[in-house]
Amino acid sequence: MTVVNKALTKYLRTYAEPECVALESFPPISPRHILVIPAFRETTEFAERISATFDSDILIIVIINQPDGEEEPLNRRLMNFFHQCPLVWQNGNLSLFTDTGGALHWLVVDRFSAGRTIDAKQGVGLARKLGCDLAVAVMAADRDSTSWICSTDADATLPRDYFNALDSCPTDAVAAVFSVKHTAPESGDIQILAATVQYERALNYYTAGLAWAGSPYAFPTIGSALAVRMQAYCECRGFPRKPGGEDFYLLNKLAKLGRVHWLKNTVISVTARLSDRAPFGTGQAVKKILDLVEPAEFVYYAPQTFIELRTWIHHISKIWSLIQSHRDPLENLPPHLQGILMEAGIDNLWAHIRRQIDNPKRCEIVVHHWFDAFQTLKFIRRLQDLRYPALPLDKCLQLAPFIRKSSRE
């Protein structure tokens, strides 16, 4: 049995959601592409938009979901919309429809009806996991289908070259992330757009700071703009069942398996809107910005935190030789950086390196696996608490050595 088969078999047997068993009687549709979309309180507009954009053989898995409580009317309307399409197959809470042209298939999952709702503590993470798990099960039955599982949201507009862009990914890429640009809401509310763009600028600034510092985790982490290879998804045990941040945690694990390739020139448009679907993330950040007297008051991590991060990351290549010469692995780092790393528990890493690692390259990899995207974020926040208070975002963009002049405005 190959490594791919082992990872796939173990995942479906041990970690996949129960609905995957229902696909044993699934028809052999052999999709060229698979797209997963969680839908909570969404109109039919996204489905109509996808049908108008793509005409190739695509399977779109839609998880209509909600937490416990009174049924959301939009969820029922969305399900009724799909029931107007030809029904190809049905088993339990799974229904397969096709559009009138037969090019697209919609696998619709009912996780909103009474007795089928999603635990609010697991939220969108479980919805994404369920959709991607079903994609894995479909791909397991048809090895000639795509190796990519694509994830997006109902408020995203995908470019026509969305799927073709994945062909340009390196063979060692375990995941791909697309660029994101927010657009005006249908209401035309300029304030919502301005607040969302402000947060978008902050995210781009953060990613640019990580890249300049030399972090291997310098890529966007947005659930509506990522794709993952099936094998890597299985090895990472899928999306975490979290009500938010599920995209960040999955990509953090994937980056330890291989390359996360950023498709910078393929841009997904996301409609700016207020949202309480997740307890944190873009929706909550936009609300906080809107609560400010002026959006310009929005503060973010000072550039100096990324300069300190760069100092630490450049030091990582010296750790092996320091350990081999029985010296302090953090020697010559500023005391406050040593303190932050010790506080994070890096001492436990030295014992592992001394016992298990036998070459400098592997030592560097192990340190970067420990100092992952989550540790990086905690490192930056600790620097903010101790030494470098947050600054207005415009000030950050003016002062940051990693922001080009044309991007500061």
Q: pLDDT tens across 142-174, in order?
A: 766 679 999 999 999 999 999 999 999 999 999
Q: Backbone phi, then psi, for 282, in 5-degree steps? A: -60, -45
pLDDT tens for 39-93 read 999 999 999 999 999 988 999 999 999 999 999 999 999 999 999 999 999 999 9
Same domain for 319 and 281: no
Q: Are residues 223 and 291 in the same domain?
A: yes
Q: Is residue 398 part of a domain?
A: no
Q: Is residue 399 part of a domain?
A: no
The answer to whether residue 404 sits within a structural domain is no
pLDDT bucket at 280, cuts 50 / 70 / 90: low
Same-domain check for residues 262 and 379: no
Tokens of 32: 């060229």
- State the Cα–Cα distance between residues 214 and 359, nearest whole angstrom: 21
**Is 401 domain-assigned?**
no
Q: How many C-beta atoms lie closer than 10 Å to residue 34's C-beta?
A: 28
Q: Specify if 405 maps to a domain.
A: no
Whether 288 and 310 share a structural domain: no
Whether residue 318 is found in the same domain as residue 264: no
The conformation of residue 215, written as its DSSP 8-state character, comes to: -
Regarding whether 46 and 167 lie in a shared domain, the answer is: yes
**pLDDT exceeds cutoff 50 at 1:** no
Q: What six digits make up the tokens of 350?
A: 């030295």
Confidence of residue 405 (pLDDT cuts 50, 70, 90): low
* Tokens read off for 185: 């809401």
Q: Which residues contact residue 177 at a Cβ distance below 8 angstroms, ignoring those fewer than 6 apart?
A: 219, 220, 221, 222, 225, 226, 227, 251, 260, 261, 262, 263
Residue 171's contacts (CB-CB under 8 Å, 6 or more residues apart) are none
The residue among 295, 314, 333 that closes a domain is: 295
Q: Is residue 406 assigned to a domain? A: no
Residue 281 and residue 318 in one domain: no
C-alpha Rg value of the chain to the nearest Å: 23
Q: Which of 295, 317, 348 is the last residue of a domain?
A: 295
Cα distance between residue 105 and residue 92, in whole Å: 18
Q: How many domains does the chain have?
A: 2
| 61 lies in the same domain as 124 | yes
Domain around 354 = 303-389
- Give pLDDT tens digits for 244-262: 999 999 999 999 999 999 9
For 392, list phi and psi in degrees, rounded to 5.
-55, 140
Helix (DSSP H) and strand (DSSP E) numbers for the chain:
16, 12
Residue 293: Cβ within 10 Å count:
6
> Is pLDDT of 13 > 90?
yes
Q: Could you read off the pLDDT of 105-114 as tens digits, one per residue? A: 999 999 999 9
Helices (H), 300-392: 303-315, 319-324, 335-343, 347-356, 360-370, 373-386
Query: Do 118 and 259 have their domain in common?
Result: yes
Last residue of a domain, one of 272, 295, 318: 295
How confident is the model over 199-240, as pLDDT tens digits? 999 999 999 999 999 999 999 999 999 999 999 999 999 999
Give me the CATH number covering residue 115: 3.90.550.10
**Within this chain, do residues 310 and 286 fall inside the same structural domain, yes or no?**
no
Same domain? 310 vs 247: no
User: Residue 390 and residue 380: Cα distance in Å, rounded?
Assistant: 11
Q: What angle do CA 371, 372, 375 make, to 5 degrees?
A: 70
Q: What is the pTM of this model?
A: 0.93
- Is 213 a member of any domain? yes
Whether residues 275 and 364 fall in one domain: no
> Cβ neighbours of residue 349 under 8 Å, at least 6 residues apart?
366, 367, 370
Band of residue 292 on the pLDDT scale cut at 50, 70, 90: confident
Residue 357 within any structural domain of the chain: yes
| Average pLDDT for 91-110 | 92
